[in-house]
Amino acid sequence: MTQDELKGLVGQAAAALVEPGSIIGVGTGSTVNRFIDALAAMPVRIAGAVSSSEQSSERLRQAGIAVIDTNAVERLTLYVDGADEIDHAGCMIKGGGAALTREKIVADLADRFVCIADESKLVERLGKFPLPIEVIGMATEQIMRRLRRLGGEPVVRPGVTTDNGHPIIDVRGLRIDDPAALEAEINQWPGVVCVGIFARHRAQTCLLGTSVGVRTLDF
């Protein structure tokens, strides 16, 4: 099976978890696009979606699904999103698509985070994928100095500004033994908007696309 077929498979599996008539949280990325396609094909519609990016909002609207303002909802039962890496505890690296801050905001509203990913994303330890960090522009150099002191090799992602108008730093070479501790440490540096470690907001379930079908991992 191709990677694209695996993404389609987990997109459909996630759509089967959606309660008709509910409002759900929707993440960002190529796997989530397949989830939106599966939502669009459902005979009974959801009431709407809280979206984590302009890109997903656009696709949701094209699918005829109402996009609801984050501030208009108090809680969501379900948030579905992809990941760049996920470990065996449900901790993730996210932000390859530069939507990490809004993704964490929507995940924070949800009772349950369901991660959809193909099997290449499952890792023993996070950190091979460069860790994305959204920052306030004037703090970029200081944050990169701090990251180098931790053993990382940071670069500003060229030509990218997030939906919130900020740059992204990608960091290679960090040793992420304790995702929650590193998330908490980086989060409190002045100028960090959001770090792409999702440990506090980790997934409760991962629907993993494999060559023999969808594997459900519950954490």
Binding mask 50-89 for ligand 5RP (x = CB under 6 A): -------------------------------xxxx-----
Residue 48 Rama label (left phi>0; alpha psi -120 to 50; beta): left
Asked whether position 131 contacts ligand 5RP by CB under 6 A, the answer is no
Size of the site for ligand 5RP (CB under 6 A): 17
Asked whether position 140 contacts ligand 5RP by CB under 6 A, the answer is no
Asked whether position 90 contacts ligand 5RP by CB under 6 A, the answer is no
Asked whether position 11 contacts ligand 5RP by CB under 6 A, the answer is no
Asked whether position 201 contacts ligand 5RP by CB under 6 A, the answer is no
Residue 151 CB coordination number (10 Å): 10
Least distance (Å) between residue 53 CB and ligand 5RP? 7
Interatomic CA distance for residues 35 and 215, integer angstroms: 16
Residue 216 Rama label (left phi>0; alpha psi -120 to 50; beta): beta
Least distance (Å) between residue 157 CB and ligand 5RP? 11
What residues are paired with 25 via a beta bridge? 50, 79
Applying CB under 6 A, which part among 56-64, 96-104, 146-154, 177-185 lies near ligand 5RP? 96-104
Taking the CA of residue 147 as centre, how many other CA atoms within 13 Å lie in the half-sphere pointing to its CB? 29
Q: Which of 23, 26, 86, 98 binds ligand 5RP (CB under 6 A)?
A: 98
Q: Which of 30, 55, 70, 187 binds ligand 5RP (CB under 6 A)?
A: 30
**Annotation says 103 is catalytic:** yes
The residues, any chain, with a CB within 8 Å of residue 40's CB and separated by 6 or more, are 63, 64, 65
Asked whether position 99 contacts ligand 5RP by CB under 6 A, the answer is yes
Does residue 1 contact residue 10 with C-beta atoms inside 8 Å? Answer: no
Q: Which of 12, 31, 57, 205 binds ligand 5RP (CB under 6 A)?
A: 31
**Which of 103, 134, 141, 153 does the annotation list as catalytic?**
103
Interatomic CA distance for residues 91 and 68, integer angstroms: 27
Does residue 127 contact residue 93 with C-beta atoms inside 8 Å? Answer: yes
79-81 and 168-172 as β-strands: parallel, antiparallel, unpaired? Answer: unpaired
Interatomic CA distance for residues 173 and 175, integer angstroms: 6
Q: Which of 11, 95, 127, 130 binds ligand 5RP (CB under 6 A)?
A: 95
Two tokens at 166? 């900020």
Write out the catalytic residue numbers.
Answer: 103
The residues binding ligand 5RP (CB under 6 A) are 27-31, 81-84, 94-100, 103
